[in-house]
């Protein structure tokens, strides 16, 4: 991943979630965060589907890092990430399937 003029290696297992702000991404990692000039759509296409899920127009989460889920948000560590209306049914199904081991 390119951040400023530096290329940094980022492992999928280190990513907690990704937050979009226009054409910039903030990748929240277990040990800090990186910013990159990239659209959420282009980054979403590069991530492995069973491991990451878009839950809002501005957020992609790592499914393995979910601590809990409330009605309209997912908690990862100390971060509360909103669930978009258009994504809610899909998220409920995926999270329920993962909890019961499908």
CATH topology of domain 2-99: OB fold (Dihydrolipoamide Acetyltransferase, E2P) (2.40.50)
pLDDT of residue 38: 86
Please give the model's pTM, rounded to 2 decimal places. 0.86
d(CA 13, CA 23) in angstroms, rounded, equals 24
pLDDT in tens, 34-84: 988 888 998 899 999 889 999 999 999 999 999 988 889 999 999 999 999
d(CA 29, CA 16) in angstroms, rounded, equals 5
Question: 3, 18 in Cβ contact below 8 A?
Answer: no
């Amino acid at each position: 991943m390119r951040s400023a003029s530096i290329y940094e290696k980022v492992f999928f297992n280190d990513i907690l979630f990704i937050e979009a702000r226009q054409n910039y991404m903030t990748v929240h990692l277990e040990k800090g965060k990186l910013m990159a000039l990239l659209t959420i759509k282009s980054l979403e296409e590069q991530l492995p589907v069973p491991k990451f899920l878009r839950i809002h127009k501005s957020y992609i989460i790592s499914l393995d890092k979910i601590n809990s889920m409330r009605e309209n948000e997912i908690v990862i560590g100390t971060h509360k990430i909103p669930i978009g209306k258009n994504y809610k049914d899909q998220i409920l199904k995926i999270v329920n399937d993962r909890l019961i081991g499908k």
